[in-house]
């Protein structure tokens, strides 16, 4: 199943590249595309994956792009957008820090005739021309299914669990929670599982996540069976606390993003499951749409739509893949991470798990 899904994302990526097909001479004359990434702290992906994949996609098409990072600062996000618009950006791609600040940028861009693309995170109430992301509720379902599978494998028909949710200002975090709660809620309602605590982590701050989880573990009296954490940054923050209490490897912990550290933690047993999102396909999908907007063409890749509370936004939603020890090798085979990075110092574990 994982290989089939990986093949689907690879096919989408190839389709995006094929549609891009424009030369450097005719596209660069049309202006440039501005990209605003959210931060470098909540997840390693923004700088280690998205930036490079976006740059490569635009370079391959001969389109000028300016990629900047707001570093978690909403005022900086606004300033970067203003500077890009003043410099002549014809399209903006953005990963919002929250919907209100991103909506203000989108409204200003729209007043200047500049279309915007929501990348990875939907701007509620915004005016984006397109939305490119993954099926984020499906991401959460995979997290919940992975936690249940881990508990089942341990023979636990009853379990004490906590939710360590993402930022309350990120619509994706809301969707992730809706997904894993849809899997786990029936077990909570039946009293098979006890939801000891349910907390959101402001701004996806991993340090705050560690503090919040320490409080959750204390509330649980040190007795927990699972931590449903919304990404690997938060999951690894929880693992650090579990290690201090000699509980790591004994508690199921979910993640998301398939980072090097996350995959290593899967192999060592500190994380039970994570979710791989083919970011290369996501970046190439956003680049394809941006180039179509730049050239005044219709984009045929947006085959769905998502309502942002104000409008139905034409959307490209890619398929996420659940990852456990059994298929870490598929992430490596897909070229998302390098075997030598994941396996450094844990070569025996890699060999045992088919890497």
Q: What is the pLDDT of residues 126-170, one digit of tens each?
A: 999 999 999 999 999 999 999 999 999 999 999 999 999 999 999
* Res 333 pLDDT > 60: yes
Count of C-beta atoms within a 10 Å radius of residue 306:
18
- According to DSSP, the β-strands at 89-94 and 64-69 are unpaired
Separation between Cα atoms, residue 205 and residue 133, nearest integer Å: 22
Separation between Cα atoms, residue 224 and residue 248, nearest integer Å: 11
Helix 206-219 and helix 232-244, axial crossing angle in degrees, nearest 10 = 50
Q: List the structure tokens of 240.
A: 């650090």
- What mean pLDDT is reported for the chain? 91
Chain mean position to CA 13: 17
CB 300 within 8 A of CB 32: no
- For residue 341, the model assigns a pLDDT of 97
* Res 68 pLDDT > 50: yes
Among candidates 60, 74, 70, 5, which has minimal Cα distance to 34?
70
Starting at the edge strand found earlier in the chain, the sheet holding 304-307 runs 64-69, 32-37, 89-94, 116-119, 130-134, 312-318, 304-307
- Tokens 């740059």, residue? 55
Three-state secondary structure string covering 191-223: CCEEEEEEEECHHHCHHHHHHHHHHHHHHCCCC
CB 66 within 8 A of CB 32: yes
Separation between Cα atoms, residue 268 and residue 291, nearest integer Å: 42
- Tokens 């992430």, residue? 331
Q: What is the pLDDT of residues 81-118, one digit of tens each?
A: 999 999 999 999 999 999 999 999 999 999 999 999 99
pLDDT band at residue 297, thresholds of 50, 70 and 90?
confident
Give 306's strand partners.
313
Among candidates 216, 171, 144, 139, which has minimal Cα distance to 310?
171
* Res 46 pLDDT > 80: yes
Q: List the structure tokens of 122.
A: 């939907």
Q: List the structure tokens of 15.
A: 């389709």
**Domains assigned to the chain:** 32-135+279-318 (3.40.50.2300), 136-277+322-353 (3.40.50.2300)
Q: What is the pLDDT of residues 201-254, one digit of tens each?
A: 999 999 999 999 999 999 999 999 999 999 999 999 999 999 999 999 999 999
* Res 43 pLDDT > 80: yes
- For residue 266, the model assigns a pLDDT of 98
* Res 328 pLDDT > 50: yes
Q: What percent of the chain has pLDDT over 70?
A: 92
DSSP 310: S
More confident residue, 272 or 8: 272
Separation between Cα atoms, residue 192 and residue 182, nearest integer Å: 15
Separation between Cα atoms, residue 76 and residue 101, nearest integer Å: 11
- For residue 268, the model assigns a pLDDT of 98
Separation between Cα atoms, residue 314 and residue 303, nearest integer Å: 7
Separation between Cα atoms, residue 69 and residue 26, nearest integer Å: 28
Q: What percent of the chain has pLDDT over 90?
A: 87
Length of the chain: 355
- For residue 111, the model assigns a pLDDT of 97
- For residue 18, the model assigns a pLDDT of 38
- For residue 30, the model assigns a pLDDT of 57
Q: What is the pLDDT of residues 188-203, one digit of tens each?
A: 999 999 999 999 999 9
* Res 6 pLDDT > 80: no
* Res 19 pLDDT > 50: no
Across the range 329-347, mean pLDDT stands at 95
Across the range 19-45, mean pLDDT stands at 69
Contacts for 14 with CB less than 8 Å, ≥ 6 apart: none
More confident residue, 1 or 64: 64
- Tokens 């992975």, residue? 146
């Amino acid at each position: 199943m994982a290989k089939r899904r990986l093949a689907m994302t690879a096919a989408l990526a190839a389709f995006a590249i094929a549609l891009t097909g424009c030369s450097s001479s005719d596209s660069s004359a049309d202006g440039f595309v501005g990209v605003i990434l959210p931060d470098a702290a909540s997840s390693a992906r923004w700088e280690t994956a998205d930036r490079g994949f976006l740059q490569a996609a635009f370079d391959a098409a001969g389109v000028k792009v300016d990629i900047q990072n707001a570093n978690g600062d909403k005022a900086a996000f606004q300033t970067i957008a203003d500077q890009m618009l003043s410099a002549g950006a014809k399209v903006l791609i953005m990963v919002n820090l929250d919907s209100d600040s991103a909506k203000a940028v989108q409204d200003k861009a729209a007043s200047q005739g500049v279309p915007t693309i929501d990348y990875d995170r939907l701007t509620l109430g915004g005016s984006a021309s397109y939305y490119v992301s993954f099926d984020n509720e499906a991401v959460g379902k995979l997290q919940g299914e992975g936690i249940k599978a881990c508990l089942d494998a341990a023979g636990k028909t009853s379990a004490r669990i906590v939710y360590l949710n993402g930022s309350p200002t990120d619509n994706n975090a809301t969707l992730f929670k809706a997904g894993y709660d849809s899997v786990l809620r029936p077990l909570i309602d039946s009293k098979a599982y006890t939801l000891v605590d349910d907390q959101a982590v402001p701004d996806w701050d991993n340090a705050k996540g560690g503090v919040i989880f320490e409080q959750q573990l204390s509330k649980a009296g040190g007795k927990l069976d699972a931590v449903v954490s919304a990404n690997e940054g938060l999951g690894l923050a929880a693992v650090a606390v579990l290690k201090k209490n000699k509980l790591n490897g004994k508690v199921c912990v979910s993640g998301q993003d398939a980072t090097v550290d996350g995959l290593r933690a899967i192999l060592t047993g500190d994380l039970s499951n994570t979710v791989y999102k083919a970011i290369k396909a996501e970046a190439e999908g956003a680049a394809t749409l941006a180039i179509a907007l730049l050239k005044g063409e219709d984009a045929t890749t947006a085959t769905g739509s998502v309502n942002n509370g104000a409008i139905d936004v034409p959307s490209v939603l890619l398929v996420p893949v659940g990852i456990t020890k059994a298929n870490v090798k598929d992430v490596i085979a897909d070229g998302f991470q390098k075997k030598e990075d994941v396996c450094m110092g844990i070569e025996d574990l890699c060999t045992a798990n088919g890497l």
